[in-house]
Structure formats: C-alpha cells, structure tokens
Structure 1
Amino acid sequence: MKLVWSAETASKAYIDTVKLCENHQESGPAELVSAMVAGWNARLIVETWSSGGVAATSIGLAVASHHTGGRHVCVVPDEQSRSEYLAAVEGAGVAAAEVIVGDPEEALDGVVGIDFMVVDCRWSDFARTLRLAKLSDRGAVLVCKNASSRAAREEPFRWRSVLDGGSRRLVRSVFLPVGKGLDIAHVATSGAGGSERGKLNRWIKHVDRQSGEETVIRK
C-alpha cells in the first residue's frame, strides 16, 4: 500500500483551518500541515506539544483528523502542558486529540501505524521521538516544525540520522520557510511492500518428473 493524495479533502481541511486560525501568529504552517494530513488521508496522526507552544498547528491537525476520521494523538511531557493544550484547542471549538503524558518511549509504546507525525524542534527529545515512532506499512510523512529555531541550529539535524535503513527509507525531504520553518520528509517503510518485492525477485526451479527437463522462472 502507499499514501494516496486527495486534493478535495486537502482543500476542505485547509479552508476550515484558515477560518479557525486567523487570529494565531503561526497560522501559515497550521493550514499547510492540515491540508497535507487530510490530503494524504492519514489514519493515525501524532504530534508533540509542550507548555508555551503555539496551538495553531494542533488545531489544524484536529481539523484534518475530523475530515479523515483518523485517530489524533498528542504527546506532552507533563500535566501543565496537557492542561494548556486542551484549553487552547478546545477553546478554538475543535475536538482535542487523545493526550498522552510522559516520556516518548513510554508514550509511543502502543501507538502503532503512524501515517503523519509532527514534532517540535524546540523539544529536546524531538529526534529521539522520531526514532521511536512506529510508522505505517504504507509509509508516512514526518514534519519538524520550528526547524529554524536556535535549538535546532545548534546541533544540525539530518533525516538520515533518525531513520534506520533496515525498515525505513527516505523517499524525499524538503525544508519550507513557512512560519519558523518546516522540515518535511516522506518515508517509505519495508512492511508489506518490502515482502512483496522479495516475492517478485524470487527464482523458482521446476523439474518435470517425466522428461527430466528443468525450467527456471521468476515469481
């Protein structure tokens, strides 16, 4: 399987997010990310958020999850962040995500099959969170917001450093100067697709018992 784009759903999520985020400082990234989530019909959307963060992107993800009917999960480090997140998103008039409080390793333990993930580069654990993510067999889109932040520049970030070649493959990545910077990657995972490729490349030898003739075919 692979991600399939729907321009119609993307447009609906974009417009709805524009209406809800017009008073937020970082509405640009929110609208773009919302359109991407809805356009790719993401079924499992995960984000990270911490106290003091701007809620516009979270609102956009909530809007997109409504259009796709997908599960929306927000990982926060503490109870204060949880309270601030819920107040900001619900205050905008949209349903908040399923909030999980704690360390990324524990928080993401049961979250399997992620299609779309947004992490904040200002969060010290953002790279580790990406490594721990259990991505969907059909591939995933990963987004680092606030990619131009000082914290991100102090230690240069490379997508290949958080993707292991055995199960994940970087298809393409792009940096967009939207808001405080969006670093976006499209990742393919081995999953079912990889096993199918293995079957297609398998050679099979058949021996006719009567004539003794050997035939080699690729299945």
Structure 2
Amino acid sequence: MKLVWTPDTALKAYVCTVKTCENFMESSVAELLSAMAAGWNAKLIVESWSKGGPIATSIGLAVAAHHTCGRHVCVVPDEGSRSEYMKTMHVAGMLETEVLVGEVEEVMAGLVGVDFLVVDCKRRDFVRVLRLAKLSPKGAVLACKNAFQKSASEFRWHGALARGTRVVKTVFLPVGQGLDMAHIGSHSGSESSKRGPSRWIRHIDQKSGEEHVFRG
C-alpha cells in the first residue's frame, strides 16, 4: 500500500478552505496544504502550533480531515497555547480538532501512522517534531511552513528525519513565507518501480495571482 492521489477530494477541500479562510492571512498556504492533505487521502493529519501563530493552516487541515474522514491533531507546547488555539478554532467553526499538550517526545510517541505532517519553522523544536514522527508505512507528506526562517545550511531533509526514512522527492515553494515539502516513500519496496506517472499540481496564490505548478 502507498499514498494514492485523489484529485476530486483535493478540489473539494481546496474550495472549502478558500471560502472559510478568505478573511485570514496566510490563506494561500492553508489552501494548498488542505488540498494536498485531502488529495493524498490522509487519515492522520498532525501539525505543531504555538501561541500567537496564524490559524489559517489549522483550519485548512481540519477541512481536509473532514473530507477524508480522518483525524486532525494539533500539538502545542503548553496550556496557554491550547486555550488560545481552541478558542480561535471554535470561533471559526472547527470543533473536532484534537489538541495534545506536552513535550514533543511524549506527544509524538502516541501518534502512530502519520500521513501528513505540518511543522512551523518558527518553532525551535520543529526538527525534533519531524525526527520523532511515527510515519505511516504507506508513506507520508511532510511540510515545513515559514521555511524562509531557516537557512539552507541549517536544514537538510535527510539529516532531519529518523534513520531509514526514505525521501522520494522534495520541493521548495515560494508560497506564504516559504513551504519546504518532502514526500516519504512507503516501506513496501522501491518507490521508483511502483510509482505511477507524476501528476502536476497547480496552485494560484489568491492574493498575488501568482501561479505555482509542481509535481505531485
């Protein structure tokens, strides 16, 4: 088994996120990540968040989980972050997101089979979150938002992930404050021999009008 792209679900999540996040900053990032999480039919969507951070991405991921009948979990460092996050999400009408509070090592240990993971590079522990993630054996998609916060010399996907993790491909997108993404292969053998033809994913930034096209 491996991740399979479902364009209809991606489109539905994208449109829903556009409508829900039209008044939020960072909406272009939210729309893209929502479409990708839904398109890959992610069943366990995990993100890290801290007090004061933008909420649009969280809304987009919650929308994606709704369309895939999946689980959306947000990991926060303390009760203050949890309280602010829940309040803002409830105002946006998102009532089903799970919020886990605690040290990264403890919280991530209980999340097994992550299909889609989003971390914020503004958090000092974002690399630890990536390394400790227990990814799904069918593969996963990882995304670092606010990626312009880190320099190229400080971060490498192969060095950030747990030993044995197979990075199939990576892409850096100039969306929002930068999105650094990686597709992790399944554990069932060579991805190159089983993978179907590449699909082109097209994203238009609603604010700037810029079009970004990349392989899915």
- Name the TM-score, length of structure 2 as normaliser: 0.85
In structure 1, the partner of 2:21 is: 21
Q: Structure 2 residue aligned with 1:157, among 152, 155, 158?
A: 155
Amino acid at match of 1:160: H
The equivalent of 1:60 in structure 2 is 60
1:83-128 CA distances to partner (integer Å, 9 max, x unpaired)?
Answer: 1111111111122411000111001111100000000001001001
Which has more radius of gyration? 1
Q: Which residue of 2 aligns with 1:104?
A: 104
**Alpha-carbon deviations, 1:152-182, whole Å to 9, x = none?**
238621101122452x111000000100110
Q: What is the aligned partner in structure 2 of residue 126 from structure 1? A: 126
Give aligned pairs, total.
190
Name the SS for the 1:148 alignment partner: helix
Give the distance between the partners of 2:116 and 2:21, measured in 1 at CA: 20
CA apart distance, 1:29: 0.2
Give distance in 2, aligned partners of 1:26 and 1:52. 14
Contact kept in structure 2, 1:148 and 1:181, CA below 8 Å: yes
- Looking at structure 1, the residues matched to 184 and 137 of structure 2 have their Cα atoms a distance apart, in angstroms, of 10
How far apart in 1 are the matches of 2:153 and 2:75?
23
Cα RMSD of the aligned pairs, angstroms, is 1.5
User: 4+ residue runs of structure 1 moved beyond 3 angstroms?
Assistant: none
- Tell me which residue corresponds to 2:70: 70
Percent identical among aligned pairs is: 63
Deviations 1:42-92 (A, max 9, x none): 010100000010000000000000000111111000011101111111111
Match of 1:169 in 2: 166
Written as runs of structure 1 = structure 2, the 5 A alignment for 1:34-49 is 34-49=34-49
How far 1:189 sits from its partner (Å)? 4.0
- Distance, in Å, in 1 between the alignment partners of 2:110 and 2:163 is 23
TM normalised by structure 1 equals 0.84
Deviation at 1:194, TM superposition (A): 4.0
CA contact (8 A) 1:163 1:169 kept: no
Residue identity matched to 1:100: L
The reply on whether 1:188 has 2:148 as its aligned counterpart is: no
Tell me if structure 1 keeps the 8 A contact 2:2–2:186.
no
**Mapped partners of 1:158, 1:169: distance in 2:** 13
Structure 1 spans left out of the alignment, 5+ residues: 196-219
Partner Cα distance (2:30, 2:93) in 1? 15
Q: Which amino acid counterpart does residue 170 of structure 1 have in structure 2? A: V
- The amino acid across from 2:104 in the alignment is P
- What residue number does 1:179 align with? 176
Q: CA deviation at 1:21?
A: 0.4
Change (3 A) 1:103 1:154: farther
Q: 1:123-146 CA deviation, whole Å, 9 max, x = no partner?
A: 001001100000001000000011
Structure 2, unpaired ranges of 5+: 191-216
Q: 1:19 to 1:111 in 2, by over 3 A?
A: same
Q: Secondary structure of 1:52's partner?
A: coil
Structure-1 separation of matches of 2:107 and 2:10 = 29
